[in-house]
Structure 1
């Protein structure tokens, strides 16, 4: 009897111990508060951690190393990856397009690889990006340099005409012949913004300045860019602004050839999208006067960060300009960009930022602007 009573008491004590242990475990879970069920890799509000988030881009035909537009975009993704501890090829990546026929294939492949945000770099990718986006409504997409109405696409645009206006001011102040040039890639509304701003800026300094405007009809034809530049320089043009992606590499090549053959001849190139100072280096000289810096890198980085934090601006148009410091004029070539040029540029920049001047972005607006000079 004593043994049986002892065993019953022992069993009762063990049962009470199990109940108390269970209650203690439940209390511990509740005491962890809101973070009790948020394990590693999750954040508040449905956000993804950097470990879970991935972003990629599809280049246009200029290539990721075009020294210009695509390269700037890729540098933005590389910076985003570094800031968030991501690995290239997993957390962030790019797909190279060698022809327009690659656009849809590349975008679709990145969707199958489950990237959370996929950029189409350049307006030429819009049809392909919209087609794939409509088929994959749960994937986020970014379109650079054009506007889409598809709900899961954010449209990223820039006020290129503002920076181009300042490039025109610099060209008109630097030329010794009162003849300057413009080389565009493919003719269209986007590059016309560059052209219109450039012409308006130059004619604001000198209404009688001569401006030769030519289009290579490609963003990936360095040989064509070199030929156009050769003809321009031979016709006494001494400053050329290019808005032509990798085609502009040919413009730089021609200017450097001229400088190498005759170091005393002053020929200049104005770069585009990123600071192209390095592209103009030739020995101790440099043919890059300045560059119209368009911070595509900043834009793709910022939108990627917003998306990772659960705030993807789908269906919206996000525009960057001088006031956002996403458009600027490079001052790297201190010998060429003299104090008087920089002072004049700063004055015009202030007028644009204050709204005293509305820079034209179309042929019609340019015509109206010129008539007011």
Structure 2
């Protein structure tokens, strides 16, 4: 049984709701404690945050580290305070910030706490030099989205596809751009309808709006929608189920949310990235001062093809997607 002690953290008069400490089942065998601050939407989004949490639990169970995690409140305006609070805890050696919204805050906090290592998942690099105790991790989301677009372009019956993003931002725009490029690579006559939930972090936590936008796109002829919207994407998936249409999920395999209607998911190996980063830190190989790109090579960025969706993604389409994947890796196809 996971023992979770709910505490309320106070820092600079900011109350951080949802901080929990999960010791290793056998105690903190490694002598290391890892902290994690989740993105807006928190655990239970069946997407980005849950993938990161899975990696954290794997590190706890396999490596014997203690773990502490903080759920966001509202739009996550307290993320900087949460990072500072974890960094100030002398028992915490490594702190993860989960999501692009941490990019500005976490590098600055890392400079103030040089004895603690920090990692940002989906880091949005400003071009500034990074402190030696900070590591950014990014995924080849544009290339993964290219494969999503190619899949949809090969399988659409209407010739119209949809894209729904969460927060209108540079990273989510990469999903849209890759999806559009992949679809038109295999089918130049494709029509694409695009929409974004909003302009702030709360755009990742509004499944009702996601469903509304998806129903609109399906009514306008889209038969496959690619969603990159965090917890808001749950509404897109529900719309696919209700209308009998298809959706492509993101970050984790989302097939079980609407069996028969989730064509595939573009997955990021966020859980693997978290786990291997903890391993590297324990073994003295922390990669500070740099941004690590995890992509199609090694399948850190990939599309789901298994027994669940094999009837939706035909063997011929799968073969074409694998050829495209190899061409992207080799450089025969350039995805800008």
Q: How far did residue 50 of structure 1 move? A: 5.0
Partner of 1:253: 238
Q: Secondary structure at the match of 1:314?
A: coil
Rounded to whole Å, the distance in 1 between the matches of 2:279 and 2:194 is 39
- Which residue of 2 is the match for residue 262 of structure 1? none
Alignment of 1:259-278 (within 5 A): 259=244, 267-278=245-256
Q: Provide the secondary structure at the position in 1 that maps to 2:205.
A: coil
- Aligned equivalent of 2:76: 100
Task: Report matched runs for 1:19-98 at 5 Å.
Answer: 51-86=30-65, 91-98=66-73
Paired with 1:355 and 1:129, the residues of 2 have a C-alpha distance of 33
Q: Deviations over 1:161-215 (max 9, x none)?
A: 1111110011011111000011111112111211111111100111110011111
Structure with the higher fraction of residues in helix conformation: 1
Query: Larger Cα Rg: Structure 1 or Structure 2?
Result: 1
- Matching of residue 173 in structure 1 with residue 173 in structure 2: no
1:203 aligns with 2:218: no
Q: Which runs of 5+ in 1 are unaligned?
A: 1-48, 260-266, 361-373
CA distance in 1, matches of 2:171, 2:218: 26
Q: Report SS of the residue matched to 1:219.
A: helix
Higher strand proportion, which one?
A: 2
Superposition TM-score, scaled by structure 1 size: 0.77
Distance 2:170 2:142 in 1: 11
Q: Secondary structure at the match of 1:216?
A: strand
Task: Identify unmatched segments of 5+ residues in structure 2.
Answer: 1-27
**1:223-234 → structure 2 map (5 Å cutoff):** 223-234=208-219
Q: Distance in 2 between matches of 1:93 and 1:231?
A: 41
Tell me what 1:334 maps to: 310
RMSD: 1.4
Structure 1 CA distance for aligned equivalents of residues 299 and 41 of structure 2: 25
1:302 aligns with 2:276: yes
How far apart, CA to CA, are the structure 2 residues paired with 1:245 and 1:349?
25
8 Å CA contact 1:58–1:94 kept in 2: the answer is: yes
Shift of 1:51: 2.0
* 2:184 corresponds to 1:185: no
Please report how far the alpha carbon of residue 308 of structure 1 lies from its aligned counterpart in structure 2 after TM superposition.
1.1
Report runs of 4+ in structure 1 exceeding 4 Å deviation: none
